[in-house]
Amino acid sequence: MRPFRHPLHTAIVHFPIASWVLAASCDGAWLFINPAPFFLKAALWLQGIGLVTASAAVIAGVMDLEGLKTRPKAATTIIANIVLMASAASAAAVSFMGRFKTPIEDGVLWPLFASFAAALLVLAGAYFGGELVYRHGFGRIEE
């Protein structure tokens, strides 16, 4: 999708990436530095923001898939990006929903581990997204 001739997907993806990495950072801060409830609340909000913005990024990304017609060598990279980002979103959703079901303060830590998994998966997916932009030319502004 190209409003004002600019690719929208490449602009939006920064929000879920940053949100999920910051959520994992907050969870790590709560786990290893200071068990203040602020960190858990911040991580919950960041997981939610990441899920909402990832939904918008998916819609814009699907619209950018038309570029595959002119760049068929990018298919493997696109599949890797999609699988990793879908896995990251799934892990973030598990972390987000798990925080409502189980009290982390009582020692139930699996939502935190899902948060760490989401951060690692989204960073791996972002690597392949960078490959799509810099190696295959997706998201480039064309005259």
Would you report the helix, strand and coil content of the chain in percent, each value rounded to 5?
80, 0, 20
- Measuring CA to CA, which residue among 57, 38, 42, 47 is closest to residue 118? 47
**Does residue 104 have a pLDDT over 80?**
no
The type of residue at 16 is P
Model confidence band, residue 22 (pLDDT cutoffs 50, 70, 90): very high
Average per-residue pLDDT for the chain: 89
Alpha carbon distance, N-terminus to C-terminus of the chain? 15
Higher model confidence: residue 35 or residue 123?
Answer: 123
**Does residue 25 have a pLDDT over 70?**
yes
**Does residue 143 have a pLDDT over 50?**
no
Distance CA 138, CA 136 (A): 6
pLDDT digits (tens, 9 = 90+) for 51-92: 999 999 999 888 878 767 777 888 999 999 999 999 999 999
The domains of the chain are located at: 3-134
pLDDT digits (tens, 9 = 90+) for 31-42: 999 988 899 999
Q: How far is CA 5 from CA 8, 65, 108, 139, in A?
A: 9, 16, 48, 10
Whether the CB-CB separation of 121 and 87 falls below 8 Å is answered with yes
**What does the CA dihedral 21, 27, 28, 29 come to, rounded to 10 degrees?**
110
Whether the CB-CB separation of 72 and 120 falls below 8 Å is answered with no
